[in-house]
Structure 1
């Protein structure tokens, strides 16, 4: 059996080459560029990654990323004294040893090699990610280029967080909500990606700050007092304020509006900004870890955290929902609740049906991520599925 399952003219390979490949007649600058220009080598690498995704090492499924880069372009990497030839066996062992930091691979006349482990990738780098059993993704500069899942290749209609938000807003008639809360999705990704990483899954309920009607439909096991509920909210606001002040100080120094005696003050401001950024990132992750307890995490769009371990209350009504595939853009109407999955998904749909100002993110134990929302244009609950494919960078922390 031929181990190369990707034809050289596959749309998956074509998506990789069109994103960064050199123009016809150009000489590749390094062996990574040579790999991206060589459809046969790319096809073999993608095939090896696919077969590796089906393997297990010490009872664990293989996960991880491949960075297509050469040593001359990498910012920080640990190089092997002797490069390791790319093979399914070698990929399984190396990805098991380095599930977080990408393996560095390049090609060329000498063949495909893993030359090291990358700790800081080149800006705008190209990647392959083994994201599950038989699931392979290609990305460039954080934008998803192509997805192979269950033997089918899809080219996403949205490629990054911004275009995905536009797709959801346009399809479900939520343009106004996007304008009001445009910065929310990126922040929530940090929370739900933590829920995916810890393997237990979880639900995150989002409410509107000015609407308390949801409270009668939520029974908290653990509820925060008002001061504690504002910790993340205050941390993010302080970070944003300090970052703006530091930027203004830098602009004033560069333009000559302030003297060099302001340099120490400016450095102190940037140190404070760095501290607050780290604090906020840590708080986002800790909120995601609250999903380890059965029950939902509840917060509002302004990042006030109300509690966790919450039971969602709803009626026994049966209804259909609409589903939007975040990768293909396909919209299905009149989907029965039973087709959504387990109780966590069905509970989220029922809760949103009864509390239409709320949204719910549900992370499954197998790594799937869905968003449940009320769509006025459809007059029903809409479920945006396969959002996990857009957590590309965040899932690594």
Structure 2
């Protein structure tokens, strides 16, 4: 790229992002993955981040731009909307185009010619492992990529906020007791699910965070009622019989022709459950994704002790585990969730804060204590 970046974080992170994509492109190829987009290199990554950062600080008619960029040529995009002429890739052009593509799922297509980036149009369909750069708010950018199976939240690679850089630590997925919902957020799945992976808890987490009211979701084992010992009775809103729409959909088999319809139905069912978590109290589902109730108040089991300490981690490079009192992880929701998992060690608790923080509580058999996984960086 001929231009010289003036956003220092762009230069610092470009090489790391290049290495990440090089590894994932190689892994996808060796696993027989579907055709992917162009592998990005550091100069292209640096130029995209630099331009997007300065665009994020501008305003168009008093509104800060929110825009998502996809790095690929038009022939790699599905049903692209191609402009009559190439547009220069500058902060000014990005700011002016942002209102047209700020709705979810629309990407501005960015490509290069003779070492210069340009904007060629828009698209909703991009291939697996395609580099995506999202401007979320002024000074806040997220580097991510589309999952190979094309379904669900994109996988975050790096988060840049001003001069702060957070690199997602993929090694977290290999640590003992790392819950599958976290490994899925990190972009890892079991080999048998390489081409058809979907973790519903990830989608539920996204839905919970999106409504902005904060909420708790408890996931308990199906066929067992021990969890009721940790819920103050009577429950505010029990569901009888259980709501099984999502569970029924996940048991259905769909061919390629009906895949989009099925995914749309799954999304609607997820949103319905996510909406319940906005009500005060906890929403309870079992591990088959049947809804058992919502608005539930958590109370310490009569046969348990009060939880006094937990371990807290964040899947970010350089993060060190901390052992703290559960009250230090947040407010009442967090303390109640930690107590619930301490009492019901085969359960999982997801907690969204109004400020966007998101924590997943599980029991660690290795550490013999509740483990709080801070994953808000993975949900941006």
TM superposition score category, shorter chain reference: 0.7 to 0.9
Cα separation, 1, equivalents of 2:224 and 2:197: 17
3-state DSSP of counterpart to 1:43:
helix
Q: 1:221 — aligned with what?
A: 236
Cα separation, 1, equivalents of 2:165 and 2:108: 23
Q: 1:352 — aligned with what?
A: 341
Cα separation, 2, equivalents of 1:292 and 1:60: 28
Corresponding position: 1:129 with 2:134: yes
For structure 1, which runs of at least 5 residues remain unmatched after alignment?
A: 23-31, 247-269, 393-397
Aligned match of 2:361 in 349, 369, 372? 372
Q: 2:296 — aligned with what?
A: 310
Distance 1:349 1:59, change over 3 A: farther
Aligned match of 1:146 in 128, 137, 158? 158
Q: 2:17 — aligned with what?
A: 16
Q: 1:362 — aligned with what?
A: 351
Corresponding position: 1:118 with 2:120: no
**1:54-110 deviations in whole A, cap 9, x for unaligned?**
566677765442101122322222222344433334434433432221111223347
Q: 1:342 — aligned with what?
A: 331
Distance 1:201 1:134, change over 3 A: farther
Cα separation, 1, equivalents of 2:259 and 2:198: 22
Question: TM-score w.r.t. structure 1 length?
Answer: 0.72
* Higher helix proportion: 1
Cα separation, 1, equivalents of 2:223 and 2:210: 32
Q: 2:33 — aligned with what?
A: none
**1:198-247 deviations in whole A, cap 9, x for unaligned?**
33232111111143122132253222112x4333222222x1xx34xx6x
Aligned match of 1:4 in 3, 6, 12? 6
Cα separation, 2, equivalents of 1:60 and 1:311: 40
Matches within 5 A, 1:184-203: 186-203=199-216
For structure 2, which runs of at least 5 residues remain unmatched after alignment?
A: 26-36, 148-154, 184-188
Distance 1:364 1:184, change over 3 A: farther
Distance 1:57 1:299, change over 3 A: farther
Q: 1:281 — aligned with what?
A: 267
For residue 384 of structure 1, report the CA deviation from its aligned partner.
0.6
Cα separation, 2, equivalents of 1:8 and 1:286: 39
Choose between structure 1 and 2 for higher RCO, CA contacts under 8 A separated by at least 6 residues: 1
Q: 1:232 — aligned with what?
A: 246
Corresponding position: 1:44 with 2:59: no
Q: 1:26 — aligned with what?
A: none
Cα separation, 1, equivalents of 2:62 and 2:239: 39
**Root-mean-square deviation (Å):** 3.8
Question: TM-score w.r.t. structure 2 length?
Answer: 0.75
For residue 165 of structure 1, report the CA deviation from its aligned partner.
4.5
Which is greater in Rg? Answer: 1
Cα separation, 2, equivalents of 1:197 and 1:57: 25
3-state DSSP of counterpart to 1:225:
strand
Q: 1:254 — aligned with what?
A: none
